[in-house]
Amino acid sequence: MDKEIKYAFVTGASGEIGQAICLSLARAGWNLYIHYYQNKQAVESLLPHLLAENVDVIPIQANFDDITSVAEMEKQVFQIDAFIHAAGSSHYALFQDMTDIDITKLWNVHMFIPMQLIRTFIPKLTKSKQGRIVFISSIWGEVGAAMEVAYSTVKGAQIAFCRALSQELGPSGTTVNAVAPGVVQTKMMDQFSTEEQAILREEIPFKRFAKPQEIADTIEFITSKKANYITGEVLRINGGWLM
């Protein structure tokens, strides 16, 4: 465990992947800003487990559909050494049936708000000389998926953003990477039938979906000093589904 005082800002901390990330980082000695929107109960349940690791934890409530939330979040952050964007939502529909509101919501939560936050946090992130920025992207950001066209688009934008920003921030020692999971066993999969999930599993060499903890383990590594020379990368966690 690193001994220095360090703070990570995790968006979407109330989700299953976000919770696993927070627990892994706390165990690795990170103090945390844990962002959530509506699921306060999940954060309240998570909090004792984080505090048991003897780290500081600062819950931050914000709606990513509200662009004024950036200024409010900035006021609550005094030190930041890592920014992990795990907040997200999906929209399963034909693209032609999506409304402007549907598309705007996906853009805001996956790209616009995190871009604004990162732009604001860069002076603090670069101060430590080993800052970390990580986006939880998706396999669909690399290959695209029917019925998830807009979702695939914003996930692809996350990857492009990470690659471009890594070039700007490299001289400061700040790394910028994307993690691209395949199918993860979360409540998001409840929208698919048992038969549909079985078909998906058969397409994956491991014949199973990823666990949230497996995503968190990768985040723990990429935010550690062991990953000092890794930047501009897309770390695939898909069980060999995409190679």
Q: Which residues are catalytic?
A: 151
Q: How many CA atoms lie within 13 A of 32 on its CB side?
A: 34
Indicate the residue type of 138: S
Is the Cα torsion angle 201, 203, 207, 212 positive or negative in sign? negative
Q: How far apart are CA 120 and CA 29, in angstroms?
A: 24
Task: Extract the tokens encoding 5.
Answer: 């005082």
Residue 167: Cβ within 10 Å count: 11
Nearby residues of 98 by Cβ (< 8 Å), 6 or more positions away? 91, 149, 150
Q: Let me know the angle formed at the C-alpha of 215 by 169 and 138, rounded to the nearest 5 degrees.
A: 70
- Burial class, 149, CB count within 10 angstroms (exposed 0-12 / middle 13-18 / buried 19+): middle
Give the chain's end-to-end CA distance (angstroms, integer). 32
